[in-house]
Amino acid sequence: MASEEIVYEKTKVVFQKKLPTIKKITETLGFSPDRVLVIYDRKLEKQEAIGKWLGTGNKLTYAVTAGEKLKDLEAFPGHVKKIMKLIGPVSPQKIVVIGLGGGTVGDFTGFFASVFKRGVSLVHVPSTLLAAIDSAHGGKTALNVASIKNQVGSFYFGSAVFICKDIFATIPQQQIHSSAGELAKMALLAGGDFFSEVKDTYFTGLDVMWKYMPQTIDSKYKILQQDPYEKSGERQLLNLGHTFGHPLESYYGIPHGMAVGLGLVFSVHWSHHHGYLSFKDQEVVVDFLHDKIGIQKRHQFLKNRKALTRAKLLKLVSEDKKMTSPNHVNFVFLEKASKVFRKTVTIDSFITEAARQGWVTS
Ligand SMILES: NC(=O)c1ccc[n+]([C@@H]2O[C@H](COP(=O)([O-])OP(=O)(O)OC[C@H]3O[C@@H](n4cnc5c(N)ncnc54)[C@H](O)[C@@H]3O)[C@@H](O)[C@H]2O)c1
Ligand SMILES: [Zn+2]
């Protein structure tokens, strides 16, 4: 591991083997809290070390069930009432909320911290790889409204993100595999040498994901620092692979990272078809995505699945939030193996490309 701690403008990212003590966590805050509240994924209680950690030290704990339901806006007031009882009377400046879990727990906890008493201190302890490399960074918090994802939210940066290797020990292989899709995205976005360093590496397990985690996270912060509140547009580069990935995720109910991986392959082929990306670079990147990251080839993926129709893809892409107008969508193209740019395209051209690549039947 290159470094143990990276300090970004708003957030300190700390890499550790084990879950740190509350004292170590609160030391990063710059004040001494009266209430430490840990909102955690109850599945993690089963890990012996976490079970023990939850039961000791001076903190309050609130268990939640991970998943999209946790992010349901309608359930939110109920959680707030229970947490208010738990916390009792205390000044907001003296509260710190720690979110221990995957992306759903992080989105929920981040949103809670951003609105509770108009904002209290926040620390993330991600427990999935997706959360560790992506959702715990960048300050986006979110709740869902009537099953439509991330319709209510805020930008709220945590003071610290603690990334602890031992927590990931129980992650199933399929989840490790799918989060490699997000790592691949970051390698393609990063510029510099990141892509050439990883292009011959097989991303098959936790150790290799752990090894490249600081660089992956660093790539995200480089983009975030240019556009933390998604105002000038640079932050949209992080949507590489998502414009096509999201419709696949909703239609086939596949894990997010896997859908992003398939979306990356789609972007690479479209970039070459447009003439933005050379044939040679297309081959290098596609080989990396299929062979080293393990993203399925389209025909394998579609073998036992129904292809999308034009009408269905139109509906799905229209529901996604990257629309710039009723007929246009933002898309991130590749110009080189590690250089990307964004462009507004018509939805019609997007669907035509999906048909050309064999994803869509008419
Ligand atoms: N805020 C952002 O910037 C951002 C970015 C990307 C994704 N997201 C959000 O993140 C969510 C997806 O994240 P996720 O996949 O981490 O979801 P999740 O929190 O639902 O976790 C996935 C599953 O892994 C389990 N789990 C968690 N830690 C584990 C561990 N250590 N060992 C074994 N199992 C464990 C959970 O109980 C759950 O069943 C989505 O809601 C998405 O919208 C947010
Ligand atoms: Zn993503």
**Please, which pLDDT band fits residue 36 given cuts at 50, 70 and 90?**
very high
| pLDDT for the residue 321 | 64
Closest CA to ligand 1's atom 20: 67
Q: What is the DSSP string of 43-80?
A: GGGGSHHHHHHHHSSS-EEEEE--SGGGGBGGGHHHHH
Cα(233) to ligand 2 centroid in Å equals 17
Please tell me the predicted confidence (pLDDT) of residue 80: 98
Comparison of pLDDT for 283 and 28, the residue scoring more: 283
Tell me, what CATH number does 349's domain have?
Answer: 1.20.1090.10
* Ligand 1 binding pocket mutation candidate from 128, 150, 151 (most atoms within 8 A of CB): 128
Given 170, 190, 213, the domain boundary residue is 170
- Asked if the model's pLDDT at residue 149 lies above 90, the reply is no
Residues 251 and 239 in one domain: yes
Is 80 in the same domain as 229? Answer: no
Residue with tokens 């690479």: 268
Together in a domain, 88 and 204? no
Task: Using a pLDDT cut of 70, give the percent of the chain over it.
Answer: 98
d(CA 347, CA 342): 15
Task: Check whether residue 160 and residue 266 sit in a common domain.
Answer: no
Question: 149 and 177 share a domain?
Answer: no
| CA–CA separation, 343 and 360 (whole Å) | 22
Task: Judge if 218 and 158 occupy the same domain.
Answer: no
Best mutation site among 19, 39, 41, 175 for ligand 1, i.e. most ligand atoms within 8 A of its Cβ? 41
Do 123 and 257 lie in a common domain?
no
As a whole number of angstroms, the distance between CA 117 and CA 285 comes to: 47
324-356 per-position pLDDT tens digit: 678 899 999 999 998 999 999 999 999 999 999
| Residue 217 shares a structural domain with residue 264 | yes
Residue list, ligand 1 pocket, CB within 6 Å:
41, 43, 66-68, 71, 101-105, 107, 127-128, 130-131, 134-135, 138, 140, 142, 149-150, 167-168, 170-171, 256
Q: Are residues 205 and 93 in the same domain?
A: no
Using a pLDDT cut of 90, give the percent of the chain over it: 86
Strands 323-325 and 140-145: unpaired
Domain finish residue from 140, 170, 200: 170
Same domain, 151 and 214: no
Q: Residue 279 is part of which domain span?
A: 173-361
Closest ligand 1 atom number to CA of residue 182: 6
Q: In which band, very low, low, confident or very high, does the pLDDT at 3 lie, cut at 50, 70 and 90?
A: very low
- Measured from the alpha carbon of residue 183, the closest ligand is 2
Among 170, 190, 205, the domain boundary falls at 170
Is residue 183 domain-shared with residue 142, that is, in the same domain?
no
Most confident of 115-124, 143-152, 248-257: 115-124
pLDDT value, residue 191: 86
CATH number at residue 148: 3.40.50.1970
156, 245: one domain: no
Task: Please report the pLDDT score of residue 2 as a whole number.
Answer: 41
Domain count, the chain: 2
Residue 286 pLDDT exceeds 80:
yes
- Segment 32-55 mean pLDDT: 95
Ligand in closest contact with the CA of 64: 1
Spatial contact of 139 and 10, defined as CB atoms under 8 Å apart: yes
pTM, whole model, 2 decimals? 0.93
> What average pLDDT does range 291-305 have in this prediction?
96
